Amino acid sequence: MLLGPRMANREYNVLFLCTGNSARSIMAECALHRWGAGRFRAFSAGSNPKGVVHPLTIELLDELGYQTGELRSKSMDEFAGPGGPHFDFVFTLCDQAAAGSCPIWPGQPITAHWGVPDPAAFSGAEDEKRRHFSRVYRELEDRIRAFANLDLETLDSVALKQRLAKIGQQKILPGQER
């Protein structure tokens, strides 16, 4: 077993990485705090952070009942140095973060790529942008709910990596939004 029964009652640290840390990774951090409360601690960061959270990210998360006052765009360097948290899982959410140079994380966390479109890069009318942000959030939320419901204590490393890859392929098609 990968994580084993001795670790069954501990919290796992999870890092969501993106390029700008202004939308996707922030949404994922919030969703895991909600769906994995007590079992997971979520963090987010960017390889080239924007420095601010996108206003439509804040608007959507506010509408969904999240506390957004403490959210901020931050660099992955904040977590990569000595004294940073030990991560059990690291998920890349954009192709640039997956292909870019990421630090070697101590403890060799389990990694997976869960690519989703960047809602901040979407161009269109304001209502179309809001729908796009919502669709991306729902796709991430579905993946995170599936992840949070995994029985980590019974999966070996190969099975866990396969499950995480399969979860990363889940998509919400236009018209399937809730």
Residue 81 has a pLDDT of: 75
C-alpha closest to that of 16 among 37, 46, 54: 46
Name the residue with tokens 């990596």. 161
CA 9 – CA 90 distance, rounded (Å)? 20
In this structure, what is the dihedral angle of CA atoms 123, 58, 115, 84, given to the nearest 10 degrees? 140
Task: Count other Cβ atoms within 10 Å, centred on residue 142.
Answer: 18
pLDDT, tens digit (0-9, with 9 covering 90-100), for 84-126: 889 999 999 986 544 455 556 667 899 999 999 999 999 999 9
Residue 175 has a pLDDT of: 53
Using a pLDDT cut of 90, give the percent of the chain over it: 67
CB 45 within 8 A of CB 76: yes
> Residue 80: which H helix or E strand, with range?
helix 77-80
In order of start, what are the domains of the chain with their CATH numbers? 9-168 (3.40.50.2300)
Residues with catalytic roles: 18, 94, 102
Per-block mean pLDDT, blocks of 10 residues, the chain (178 long): 52 94 96 94 94 96 96 91 87 69 69 92 93 95 96 91 92 56
